[in-house]
Copies of this chain bind each other. A is one copy, B any other.
Amino acid sequence: MTQETTQAAGRPRNAEASDALKREALRLVREQGYGVSIAAIIKAAGVSRQTLYNRWSTKAELLLDALFELADMQVAIPDLSQPGPRRAVLTTYMREVFHHVRKDADLLRIFISQAQSDPAFRAVLYDRFVEPRDLIVVDVLRDAQARGEIAQDRDPALISAMIHGAFWYRLLLDLPLDDDFAAALVEDAFRGAA
C-alpha cells in the first residue's frame, strides 16, 4: 500500500510557477548578475509578485533553491568500495568539482557573498553545499589513512579545510580553478606518503 501525501486544503500551488521562477531567476542572474530586480524575474517567469513571496522570502533563497536544483552542481560521490589509490580518486573528484564550479563561479561567489550578511542563508549554504563536500573529502582522506596512503597522525578534517579553503580562496579572488591546481592540491595533501 503506497503512502500518499495528504492534499492540503485550498488550491494547490502550481509547481510550474516554482520551476519557472527558479529557471528564470538563474538565467537572469547569470546574464545580468545578482542585481536583477524581482520585477524582472517574475515578469520573465510569467508569475505574480505574491506568488514568488508565497514561496521564498528573499531573492537569495530563491536562487539557492534554483542553484542546487537546476544548476548541474551534483558531483558523483567517489566509490570507496573499489580498489586503487585514493590519491587518484581524490584528484578525479576535485577536478570534477572544479569543473562544475567553473560553470557557475559567479553565482557561487554571489552566494558566499550573500551568506556573509545573512546568517540563515549561510546555514543553508553550509548544509547544502559546504558540509556535503567536506564530508566526502574527509571520507576519502580517512580511507586513504586506513590504507596507509596518508600518515596516521594527520587530521583529515584539517586537510579537507586546507583543500577547500584553497579552492575558496582562488574562487573568491577570481583566480583560475583548473585541473592542474586540483592535482597540485591533492599531491601536496598526500605528500610524504608511501
* Distance (whole angstroms) from the CB of A136 to the closest CB of chain B: 16
Contact of B155 with A188 in the complex, beta carbons under 8 Å: yes
Contact of A166 with B158 in the complex, beta carbons under 8 Å: yes
- Which residues in B have their C-beta under 8 angstroms from that of A184? 155, 158
Contact mask for chain A residues 49-85; partner B; CB cutoff 8 A; 1 contact, 0 none: 0000000000000000000000000000000000000
Q: A164-B169, A169-B164 given as contacts; is B188 within 8 A of A154 (CB)?
A: yes
- Which residues in B have their C-beta under 8 angstroms from that of A173? 122, 126, 130
Oligomeric state, in copies: 4
In the A-B complex, the 7 residue pairs with the smallest Cβ-Cβ separation, listed nearest first, are A165-B165, A165-B169, A192-B192, A165-B166, A113-B116, A162-B162, A113-B113
* Complex CA–CA separation, A162 to B159 (angstroms): 9
Residue among A112, A119, A166 having the largest count of chain B Cβ atoms under 10 Å? A166
- Residue of B whose beta carbon sits closest to that of A108: B116
Subset of 11 A-B contacts with CB under 8 Å: A33-B117, A110-B116, A112-B113, A113-B113, A126-B173, A151-B192, A158-B185, A159-B188, A161-B166, A161-B169, A165-B165
